Structure 1
Amino acid sequence: MLNTLRKIVQEVNSAKDLKTALGIIVRRVKEAMGSQVCSVYLLDPETNRFVLMATDGLNKRSIGKVSMASNEGLVGLVGTREEPLNLENAAAHPRYRYFAETGEERYASFLGAPIIHHRRVMGVLVVQQKERREFDEGEEAFLVTMSAQLAGVIAHAEATGSIRGLGRQGKGIQEARFVGVPAAPGVAVGKAVVVLPPADLDVVPDKPAEDLKAELELFGNALEAVRADIRALSAKLATQLRPEERALFDVYLMMLDDASLGCEVQRVIRTGQWAQGALRQVVNEHVKRFELMDDAYLRERASDVKDLGRRLLAYLQQARQQAMVYADNTILVSEELSPAMLGELPEGKLVGLVSVQGSGNSHVAILARAMGIPTVMGVVDLPYSKMDGIDLIVDGYHGEVYTNPSDMLRQQFADLVEEERQLTQGLDALRELPCETLDGHRLPLWVNTGLLADVARAQERGAEGVGLYRTEVPFMNNERFPSEKEQLAIYRDQLSAFYPLPVTMRTLDIGGDKSLSYFPIKESNPFLGWRGIRVTLDHPEIFLVQVRAMLKASEGLNNLRVLLPMISSIHELDEALHLIHRAWGEVRDEGTDVPMPPVGVMVEIPAAVYQTRELARLVDFLSVGSNDLTQYLLAVDRNNPRVADLYDYLHPAVLQALNKVVQDAHAEGKPVSICGEMAGDPSAAVLLMAMGFDSLSMNATNLPKVKWLLRQITLSKARELLDRLMAIDNPQVIHSTLQLALRNLGLGRVINPVASLQS
């Protein structure tokens, strides 16, 4: 069954559209299960009816015509109950409904499985047989597995717009929504430009050729280039290979010959297909043929064909990349975005980013926040390879992507983009003003930085210091550990840029989802593994070099603060403080006269929450890392889109933990700040101020919004609101109560603008 399932999935994934895919599924499932009927009913959300969309065994003329409401028939029952239904005699069931046009009166037994994608019922997959019998457990399990696969196929078809004419009015499904991880705030409306991974034939989509002559020429050039490469490779290895081994290169050249692969690809191009799609089609056909052969030697030739296909594709992609034209409102979409991809775009064309893989802490996400480009990462279900040229909306606040949006939705989001632009312009006037409440409470607003681009943005927005400088960023942009001298230069630039304002430098924080290519950490559960201070304490040579560089960089400026990440015990803190004092002694012995900088601890592990007072006695300040603290308190991987809706920093447990940290730190007379996404959320910032945080640190983009909101409220009103919310035990109710209270005070202007569309 597993082998059958794998083959069906492969065949379905290569189908050109949804109709073909459904046809393959009903035919193959019927064969695999030995049943007489297999049918797919899809739920039309406009009419809320299950429509027969494909069948093998029932009357084909009833496709698209037969439909039933969710409270009608056995199909409706499977859909509403959201579980399989296995009946020996379907007609005897009280919910059975007879449709004369299908001819199904001949079939007695019935097995139906719901098609569900992210909690949404999309349809029902059904098999039927003439004889009365109950399908066994293995058959039921197979159908459930098949329906789970089908859910992804239908979701992809929605995204690319290939479901049309599902409803009776022919409107079909106008848009689809995909959930990922919010990586950079903001909203973008534009056209998808897909960057495919280099030389991966499997993801090449079908696309009509605009200019057949140009496509044939492109392919001809790629053929010549690959032939030249193979001849060069053969000549290079001439002295190392025997003649019979070198003959393999001749086989490659023969395969590329005009009478073989080359000729077939050109023939497919002439039917109207672009060169890359034609190449994929021909290569896949040859590979299938070879893999089915009994002879082991011939089966191995499949890998040769794949290799040639990859080589040809690489040249075709290279040529197309050079000729690529970007629209004014480009939304770059890829399986895995890289900083290099951003650099290839002409300035001013890029409005949004979408990545199937990656997290909110990836290189690209950090860069996107610095550039102010709305970004969504980790959209695992997005059929990105088929999306080139389609309309997209990127909601960087909630980590959502809308494909094929309706005119109404597009207009709503376009209005938001314009509102955001005007709001940002209006907030520029606040740059020189302090963050001070209506009743005179001052709250310094700091920024999180990591790139040089962050410096200018922070200064433009009136930051009062750096609450978190991510020192791992220069490490990640290197091909080896940067030397003490290299680090000194980087840190000096950062300290000088903000002088005399304080700059809080976090010591190297790698592990989790932040890896160094030259220092790989392979773990099955990296977030609970070797990361942060655990790595640097195990490698004092890395830690000491970094702290020495920081201390030397602060000479004459004295605006450095050192922050230790991932502290979970007093023992770790003692060890780190010992090394910092050792580095300070060494630097002073070398003649650099710097005072001992303030040293702080990040509270981001639940263990640290319960040791706040003990930790505070040993350090000069504390800083809460709200992203990791929320993740660890709620046991939710914040980079996993499948549990994204469970990650919530307004969860009662998180609010209580934050309140405790502030009270305990202040009881020891130590200041406490907070960095992370929560500090940059204007409505959450009201609660953090009410709790008593001494400073907030956030990305520069959100700083003006937070400042505006806090200047419009009194501290006493914020405390009143906090007291109300601390008594609520449901995160959703906390969110809605907070939003409503701020709107009632006339402060809805900078609260998440997308919230109003979703309510």
Structure 2
Amino acid sequence: MLEILSHIVQEVSAAADLAQALAITVARVRAAVSADACSIYLSERGRGENVLMATEGLNPEMVGKVRLKLHEGLIGLVYTRAEPLNREDAPAHPNYRFVAKTGEDLYHGFLGVPIIHYRKVLGVLVVRSRERRKYAEDEVSFLVTLAAQLAGAIAHAEASGSLEELPGHRATEPRFLNGLPGSPGVGIGTATAIYPPAELQAVPDRAAEDPAREEADLRDAFSAVRAEIQTLSARMKDVLPPEEHALFDAYALMLDGESLLGGALARVRTGNWAPGALRATIQEHVQRFEEMHDTYLRERGEDIRDLGRRILIHLQSRTPAAKDYPEHAILIGEEISATQLAEVPRERLAGVVCQRGSSTSHVAILARAMGIPAVVGVEDLRIGRLDGHPLIVDGYQGRVYVRPNAVVRKEFQRLAAQEARLTSGLEALHDLPAETPDGVRVPLYVNTGLLADISPSLRSGAEGVGLYRTELPFMIRDRFPGEDEQRAIYLQVLRAFAPRPVTLRTLDVGGDKALPYFPVHEENPFLGWRGIRISLDHPEIFITQLRAMLRADAKVRNLQVLLPMVSWVAELDEALQLIRRAYQELVSEGETVRMPPVGAMIEVPSAVYQAEAFARRVDFLSVGTNDLTQYLLAVDRNNGRVAALYDSLHPAVLRALLQVVEGAHRHGKPVSVCGEMAGDPAAAVLLLGMGIDSLSTSAANLPRVKWVIRSFPRTRARALLDQVLELEDPGAIRRRIHEALEQAGLGGLVRAGS
């Protein structure tokens, strides 16, 4: 059965359209289980009907004409229960519905299985036999498995409009593909498929016939790609803010450094040809990033893979062909790299849709910086079949409308115009304080990790840095950076924002973020050796970093130190002891340093329940809502199968945050929130109501959050918080917040339009 199933799935995948896929399915299934008939009914929920769409054995003239109510007959019973029904004598069942025109009066045995896609019943797959027959368990399993495979093709056809090509189908509602919001906004245009320029994974290992020639080819290819990157960098200089434009500088550093080129040359010298040596080197570097727990850093593996493809193109003596983009291009692809995005003239780029990725993908980050709507993680995206079709990208809801009708298009055109007016209005808030109408100041800080972020962060109106990721300088070196090297980096950040506070998070690496010169291999890096654990186990690394921070702060005196992934009070006590030791060492050496404020991150459930104990020991708490939400809900937000379950407005998350705030405030200690929740206008209202003292988000989100704070009194936010804490469903909580934002005239922050 497994081999038969594999062949059917391959045939269905290769089908030209859904009609052919359904025809192949009923024919092959009928033969596989020796049935006398096989049929597929598809559900039209808007009309409340199950419609016969394909059959082998029943009257073919009834395809598209036989329509049963959703709950009618045995087909309706399978649909309603969403589980298989296996009957030896179907006509004897009380729910049996006889349809004479199909010719089914000859049949007795019945097996029906639901076709389900992400909890949604799309139709029913049925086999019938003339004799009384109860189908075997392995036959039931076979149909269930095949129905699950077929569900993806039907879901895509439903969303893309292909169902309308089937006989008898009647569209009843707008069609869209579901994904994850990548960048807010509305984009209307034409799908433009993006394919990888070279298939790096397919390159084999071969013996180098002329190693000297292979080395020369590698160097030439690296030089050619370096020139391409310089051209793309120049094109994007006036389009991207400096912190995002710095990505092209990072590309140049990778091409100039010895890590990539040196690794490939070393493999050539051991006998591999240039393409094989390149493939192995790129794979090694990509793997390091993909094994990391930090979603932002893990996504950087695709940047390296993109460089590898470009280098391979030149090794294969090809050059990237110039592409003619439509006037309003919406890029669609499995993954879209920063350079592929940069190749599109800015005035022609209307949106981005990716089959893979998350809100931390580089393409999502760049899209937000450019103000381009994006939807990522669209698992049902059939890239080749959508190329050239009209699309609408809804970056607020994470939806992609395929071949929208005139009514849908007109509505989104109206919303896009309203959104443009909203964006223009937000610019007027730049120099105004983040203060509520009832006089409560809520400082807004930025999250960063690159020196290039400094200027745009200052321009955004940020009042300081709420989270600076110090691990990035460690990631781009082939050894641990020394004390003086680290001090120079930290001093640049502290000086740029002085006298505003800058919170430097200590090193957050480990088994899930393995440094190339400090490898760690673990079976479960999500719960492994990382953050404060590795710092305490290697005090020589921790002390060096602390000394660099304190020395950098000596003249500017705006440093705050933040300790990551603390789960035990004992860890916190030990870390504080080492900070005091570093301070005392420097004082004894004659340095004019001070003891900076020290905070602890609340990222794991154990820290929530110890927040009060933490607050007795440190100067402030900072909640990392991304990790906290994932740990509380046991959901990987980058896993498309469960990403919909990730919701920072889950009641458990809200109550955890409230417990942290109350525990800290009992000891007079402030609480900050960093991560995506701080940049979500809907969540920001509740954080304001909880009494959160400051928020730290990206520079792009800061104006929207400021508008919320300046428009919503804390007393009103607290009342709204009390209401939603009575609710048990995250969807209901979000709807209630959206209603409140609409009433306050802030609806444009959470949907298209204003």
TM superposition score normalised by structure 2: 0.78
Distance in 2 between the 1:518 and 1:156 partners? 45
In structure 2, the partner of 1:219 is none
In structure 2, the partner of 1:236 is 210
In structure 2, the partner of 1:11 is 11
In structure 1, the partner of 2:696 is 697
In structure 2, the partner of 1:257 is none
CA contact (8 A) 2:338 2:363 kept: yes
Q: Secondary structure of 1:322's partner?
A: coil
Distance in 1 between the 2:319 and 2:96 partners? 56
In structure 2, the partner of 1:748 is 746
Alpha-carbon spacing, 1:367–1:700, altered in 2? closer, same or farther (3 Å): same
Alpha-carbon spacing, 1:155–1:121, altered in 2? closer, same or farther (3 Å): same
Q: Residues 111-122 of structure 1 correspond to what in structure 2 (within 5 A)? A: 111-122=111-122
CA contact (8 A) 2:470 2:504 kept: yes
Deviates further, 511-520 or 663-672: 511-520
Distance in 2 between the 1:403 and 1:479 partners? 47
In structure 2, the partner of 1:280 is none
Deviates further, 579-588 or 641-650: 579-588
CA contact (8 A) 1:47 1:167 kept: no
Q: Residues 40-79 of structure 1 correspond to what in structure 2 (within 5 A)? A: 40-79=40-79
In structure 2, the partner of 1:509 is 508
In structure 2, the partner of 1:91 is 91
> Which letter does structure 2 place at the counterpart of 1:500?
P
In structure 2, the partner of 1:382 is 381
> Which letter does structure 1 place at the counterpart of 2:26?
V
Q: 1:20-66 CA deviation, whole Å, 9 max, x = no partner?
A: 22222112212211212222122234533222222222233332233
Q: Aligned-pair distance for 1:113?
A: 0.7
Q: Residues 275-294 of structure 1 correspond to what in structure 2 (within 5 A)? A: none
Q: Aligned-pair distance for 1:111?
A: 0.8
Gaps of 5+ in 2: 213-278, 280-308
CA contact (8 A) 2:177 2:380 kept: no
Q: Residues 639-654 of structure 1 correspond to what in structure 2 (within 5 A)? A: 639-654=638-653
> Which letter does structure 2 place at the counterpart of 1:134?
K
Alpha-carbon spacing, 1:46–1:442, altered in 2? closer, same or farther (3 Å): closer
Alpha-carbon spacing, 1:696–1:322, altered in 2? closer, same or farther (3 Å): same
How many residues are aligned here?
Answer: 659
> Which letter does structure 2 place at the counterpart of 1:747?
G
Alpha-carbon spacing, 1:484–1:25, altered in 2? closer, same or farther (3 Å): farther
Q: Aligned-pair distance for 1:319?
A: 5.8
Distance in 2 between the 1:186 and 1:489 partners? 39
CA contact (8 A) 1:163 1:172 kept: no
In structure 2, the partner of 1:80 is 80
In structure 1, the partner of 2:249 is none
Q: Does structure 1 residue 530 correspond to structure 2 residue 529?
A: yes
In structure 2, the partner of 1:713 is 712
Q: Secondary structure of 1:527's partner?
A: helix
In structure 1, the partner of 2:499 is 500
Alpha-carbon spacing, 1:5–1:520, altered in 2? closer, same or farther (3 Å): farther
In structure 2, the partner of 1:423 is 422
Q: Secondary structure of 1:556's partner?
A: helix
Distance in 1 between the 2:131 and 2:726 partners? 61
Distance in 1 between the 2:459 and 2:141 partners? 59
In structure 1, the partner of 2:245 is none
Gaps of 5+ in 1: 204-225, 239-306
Distance in 1 between the 2:483 and 2:126 partners? 67
Q: Secondary structure of 1:16's partner?
A: coil
Q: Aligned-pair distance for 1:514?
A: 6.1
Q: Aligned-pair distance for 1:95?
A: 3.1
Distance in 1 between the 2:481 and 2:416 partners? 40
CA contact (8 A) 2:543 2:579 kept: yes
In structure 1, the partner of 2:676 is 677
Alpha-carbon spacing, 1:579–1:376, altered in 2? closer, same or farther (3 Å): farther
Q: 1:67-92 CA deviation, whole Å, 9 max, x = no partner?
A: 32213332222222211111212223
Distance in 2 between the 1:344 and 1:551 partners? 43
Q: State the percentage of identical aligned residues.
A: 56
Distance in 1 between the 2:657 and 2:96 partners? 56
CA contact (8 A) 1:623 1:675 kept: yes
Q: Aligned-pair distance for 1:128?
A: 1.2
Q: 1:303-347 CA deviation, whole Å, 9 max, x = no partner?
A: xxxx9xx99x97999968422233443333332343343344434
Q: Residues 261-272 of structure 1 correspond to what in structure 2 (within 5 A)? A: none
Q: 1:86-131 CA deviation, whole Å, 9 max, x = no partner?
A: 1212223333333344333222211111111112211111111121
CA contact (8 A) 1:186 1:395 kept: yes
Distance in 2 between the 1:317 and 1:418 partners? 46
Q: Aligned-pair distance for 1:380?
A: 3.0
> Which letter does structure 2 place at the counterpart of 1:708?
W
Q: Aligned-pair distance for 1:236?
A: 3.4
In structure 1, the partner of 2:617 is 618
Q: Residues 149-298 of structure 1 correspond to what in structure 2 (within 5 A)? A: 149-166=149-166, 168=168, 175-180=175-180, 182-197=181-196, 199=198, 235-236=209-210
Q: Secondary structure of 1:701's partner?
A: coil
Q: Aligned-pair distance for 1:753?
A: 1.6
Q: Aligned-pair distance for 1:634?
A: 2.4
Deviates further, 25-34 or 370-379: 370-379
Q: Residues 184-583 of structure 1 correspond to what in structure 2 (within 5 A)? A: 184-197=183-196, 199=198, 235-236=209-210, 321-451=320-450, 454-475=453-474, 487-510=486-509, 523-583=522-582
TM superposition score normalised by structure 1: 0.78
CA contact (8 A) 1:198 1:317 kept: no
